Structure 1
Amino acid sequence: MTVSTLSATSLWRDRRFRTFWSAQGVSEFGDRITELALPLIAVTMLNASPSQVGFLTAAVWLPNLASLFIGTWVDHRRDKRPLMIAADLSRTVLLLSLPAAYWLDLLTLGQLYVIAILAGTAHVMFNTAYASFFVALVDRDQFLEANSKLSATRSISFMGGPALGGLLVQWLTAPVAIVVDALTFTFSALQISRIKMIPAASDQTAEPLLRRARAGMRYLLRHPYLRRSLACSTTVNFFNLISTALLVLFASRELELSAGTIGIAFGIGAAGGLLGAVSASPLSRIFGVGPLIAAGAVVFPGAIAIAAFADGPTWVKATALAAAEFVGAFAVMCFDIPNNSLQAAVTHDYMRSRVSGAYSTINYGIRPLGAVVGGLLGTWIGVRATLLVSAAGGLLAVLWLVGSPNIRTRELDGLEPPEF
């Protein structure tokens, strides 16, 4: 039986989806370890300042500025799987260089910046290829279910990954803990290589890359759904990265929490993401896809204020950190899952990787700026005050959805890419 004849609840029985799901789940789990270990290397081993930590976070997201061109190049390749495999293997090698430098006593902030940029470039290539890979893997009526399952796994990784990462950092040191993430990318590459499928449609025009890239950006900015989604997501990402760049530093230095406690607080808080992932689909049916996206756009950025007000005994501060993570993680799933599904439904097949790249160039490309602004503000007005600026500014994102077709969308059935 082919995927196209399976029911919407049959992804549990779809071997190809399960294979990719396992690759994604293991890789996401490893990512959570590195997301905690990398800034801890900078803060605890290299004595980085708030601005330097901000620059490190910016370096991770800097390659997204090239997403448009990477996505345009990817769109010209019919089979996206080899690109995804190459991206995974590249990240394996890059991450393994960190413990090697540590053992040779050569570890520096400069190396962290270089690895962050190169690994981020591989991440961009993987994601732009994934946009087309996803619609070839599952049918339209399975978009919400597939995104919910993948997001649920990501949420579970946020529950267990930081806790495990914190313990590994304490027991083995942060550079050694990163070895675990490197191995997860190897597993992901092996699993994706096992998936046999008919590739989605590709861009077969003979136009130069730059012209095709411009066409992708023009398509995105003229699209009645995508341009509003882009403006909202970009605003959320800018203000979210202001706080994300400093959150580990804030928890370590100002709240005076240990690496293990920080990891456990993040892990407990991430349960909100799992709850949001399993709730997003039924909530979309109850309240509508668009209204749920709007609600998530308000609650997600505002949740960091809970952590910013944390004070008192250690257990109170750890609880506030976990609560901020819980509320934010729940809300971001209610934003991302219906938003990603809506985007998949209204984008033409031949433009997917190009549009994904153009979208990421702006949406994720703003993240380095947010991280740098966060680092500079943290040095200027203090880390706690900067978190409150992040929370207040993020609330503006929902204004982009007012009057848009996005917020009026109740369900995805029958929704087709518009002609414009």
Structure 2
Amino acid sequence: MSLRDTPGTGSQKAFWTYYLASTASDLGSAVRSLALPLVAVLVLDATPLEVGLITGAGFAAWLLIGLPAGDLTARFPLRSAQVVMDLVRALCVLSLPVAWAFDTLSVAHVAAVAFLIGLADVIYDVANSTFMPAVVPREDLMRRNSLMTGTQAVTTLGGPSFGGVLVQIAGAVPALLIDAASYVVSAVLLRTLPERPPAAKPARGEGMWTRIAAGWSYVGKHPVMAPFMWANAAVNFAAGAQLALYPVLLARTLDVAPALIGILLAGEGVGVLISSMLVTRVVDRLGTSRSSLVGGIGVVAGTVLVAAAVAWSPYDLLLYGGFFLGNALCGGTAVLVAVNSRTFVQSTCPTEILSRVTATIRFVTWGVIPAGGMLAALSVTHLGATITLWLIALAAGATPVVLAVSRIGRTRNLEEV
């Protein structure tokens, strides 16, 4: 009997162990997102370009191995793959304090660590998402995915702040010891879960790229997964543009105080947190298809509200309020699209190709983030911040359009497609 088939208390215990391990890992990643750039700036006096290279190194991993990750993950036991990637990330992070202690730390070392951790992140994420159906009964996937999304919002909001406190107290490099410890905690917790064996061995003569192509074909032809993939890609493209534009817009164009910038940017996380607590009720009332469409419309409304607040608000209070609410609306309604799509994939996709399907979807939906950031940077340079905000809203508009014109837009629930 598989872990997923285990009823009652054992199944509940397995999920909560998985949940705590994932949360510890997510917290480590959130702390790292602030700690690594601060190490570069405060310890190594890195230039803005060097800091940008360090920040972008993790995203490069998705473009490099995002597609092969699904096939690679399917070859190994899923629990062990996550444990190994946790330990790899811990060792990579620990190499920085060691190099600092011996006065050999360099920007190149920090960038290399960011890239290696990014590679481990890709494998861990695909394995972690594929492993979840093994610890959650199908009927509970929506509720558990909502909980995971809300917790990730909390770690995303609190992780950098926690990292800032650690840096303030212990220094940028010693704070990384806590980051490494979080990955070790995750590995220890995951090690207590029963293993889920790898998928069946591929047929003789069937190469990796043939299997990757099969996963891509499965997603591309699916009447639900394909529209969701492109709809989520539109959301993340807009998010990547926002990540690149908002700090420059707030700090330079609008001359907002640093403390207020943090509050305004936290609006997205607040929206995600609130939405994750309500998503199950909304889905029960509207259905999985219609709630996804409502989510896509909400993303557009949020981006439009931000653009309108910046372009037309005559008072600072209206500007800040519109920006915060728009950011919260955008993040909160995107949860409906993300949770519905993730739950559908986990509950319907055949186990033997789930890792490849997950990797295909993540490759597209996460791979567009740096593209959105790059195009936003070019747009704001040549067209200005206000026009760029309206272009972001236009890009986000693809989300409900893709869902509406597909078969998803003609049903109440995804199971009817």
TM exceeds 0.5? yes
When structure 1 is superposed on structure 2, of 241-250 and 97-106 the one drifting more is: 97-106
Tell me if 1:237 matches 2:239. Answer: no
CA distance in 1, matches of 2:201, 2:127: 13
Distance 1:248 1:170, change over 3 A: farther
CA distance in 1, matches of 2:91, 2:385: 34
Tell me if 1:30 matches 2:32. Answer: no
Match of residue 279 from structure 1: 278
Match of residue 371 from structure 1: 373
Distance 1:224 1:302, change over 3 A: same
Match of residue 227 from structure 1: 226
Q: Say which SS state the counterpart of residue 14 (structure 1) adopts.
A: helix
CA distance in 1, matches of 2:318, 2:289: 36
- Residues 78-157 of structure 1 mapped to structure 2, 5 A cutoff: 79-99=77-97, 104=103, 106-108=105-107, 110-157=108-155
Match of residue 188 from structure 1: 186
Q: Deviations over 1:10-61 (max 9, x none)?
A: 79x7111111111112222233333344456667853416xx7665554322
8 Å contact from structure 1 (residues 144, 341) kept in 2: yes
Match of residue 403 from structure 1: 405
Q: Deviations over 1:187-209 (max 9, x none)?
A: 11111111124447545433221
Q: Deviations over 1:260-309 (max 9, x none)?
A: 65555555652322211121111111011112212222323653565664
Which of the numbers 388, 391, 394 marks the counterpart of 1:392?
A: 394
What is the CA-CA distance between 1:213 and the residue it aligns to? 1.4
- Residues 7-406 of structure 1 mapped to structure 2, 5 A cutoff: 14-38=12-36, 45-48=45-48, 56-65=54-63, 66-77=65-76, 79-99=77-97, 104=103, 106-108=105-107, 110-172=108-170, 174-199=172-197, 201-202=199-200, 204-206=202-204, 207-254=206-253, 262-263=261-262, 266-267=265-266, 270-300=269-299, 303-304=302-303, 309=309, 322-382=324-384, 386-406=388-408
CA distance in 2, matches of 1:228, 1:145: 23
8 Å contact from structure 1 (residues 289, 338) kept in 2: yes
CA distance in 1, matches of 2:121, 2:191: 17
Q: Say which SS state the counterpart of residue 270 (structure 1) adopts.
A: helix
8 Å contact from structure 2 (residues 232, 338) kept in 1: no
AA matched with 1:46: A
* Greater relative contact order, per chain length (Cα 8 Å cut-off, separation 6+): 1
CA distance in 2, matches of 1:312, 1:169: 38
AA matched with 1:67: G
Q: Deviations over 1:127-170 (max 9, x none)?
A: 22223311211121111122112112112223432433344455
AA matched with 2:135: L
CA distance in 2, matches of 1:363, 1:274: 21
CA distance in 1, matches of 2:171, 2:190: 31
Give RMSD over aligned pairs. Answer: 3.5
8 Å contact from structure 1 (residues 26, 184) kept in 2: yes
The count of residues paired between Structure 1 and Structure 2 equals 408
CA distance in 1, matches of 2:300, 2:201: 36
8 Å contact from structure 2 (residues 267, 328) kept in 1: yes
Q: Say which SS state the counterpart of residue 48 (structure 2) adopts.
A: coil
Distance 1:90 1:315, change over 3 A: farther
Structure 1 unaligned segments of length 5 or more: list them: none
What is the CA-CA distance between 1:83 and the residue it aligns to? 1.0
Distance 1:24 1:315, change over 3 A: farther
CA distance in 1, matches of 2:125, 2:274: 24
Q: Say which SS state the counterpart of residue 365 (structure 1) adopts.
A: helix
Q: Say which SS state the counterpart of residue 88 (structure 1) adopts.
A: helix
Structure 2 unaligned segments of length 5 or more: list them: none
When structure 1 is superposed on structure 2, of 116-125 and 192-201 the one drifting more is: 192-201
Distance 1:409 1:53, change over 3 A: farther
CA distance in 2, matches of 1:106, 1:312: 49
Q: Say which SS state the counterpart of residue 224 (structure 1) adopts.
A: coil
8 Å contact from structure 1 (residues 92, 186) kept in 2: yes
AA matched with 1:208: G
CA distance in 2, matches of 1:265, 1:176: 29
AA matched with 1:348: P
TM-score (norm 2): 0.83
CA distance in 1, matches of 2:89, 2:183: 7
CA distance in 1, matches of 2:247, 2:104: 24
CA distance in 2, matches of 1:173, 1:75: 40
8 Å contact from structure 2 (residues 404, 410) kept in 1: no
Q: Deviations over 1:67-102 (max 9, x none)?
A: 22121122233x211111111122222233445566
What is the CA-CA distance between 1:117 and the residue it aligns to? 2.5
Q: Deviations over 1:211-243 (max 9, x none)?
A: 111211121212221111111111221221011
Distance 1:239 1:173, change over 3 A: farther
8 Å contact from structure 2 (residues 228, 403) kept in 1: yes
TM-score (norm 1): 0.83
CA distance in 2, matches of 1:259, 1:23: 33
8 Å contact from structure 2 (residues 30, 155) kept in 1: yes
What is the CA-CA distance between 1:397 and the residue it aligns to? 2.1
What is the CA-CA distance between 1:181 and the residue it aligns to? 2.8
CA distance in 2, matches of 1:363, 1:185: 25
CA distance in 1, matches of 2:267, 2:234: 27
AA matched with 1:75: A
Q: Percent identity?
A: 25
8 Å contact from structure 2 (residues 41, 47) kept in 1: yes
CA distance in 1, matches of 2:399, 2:296: 6
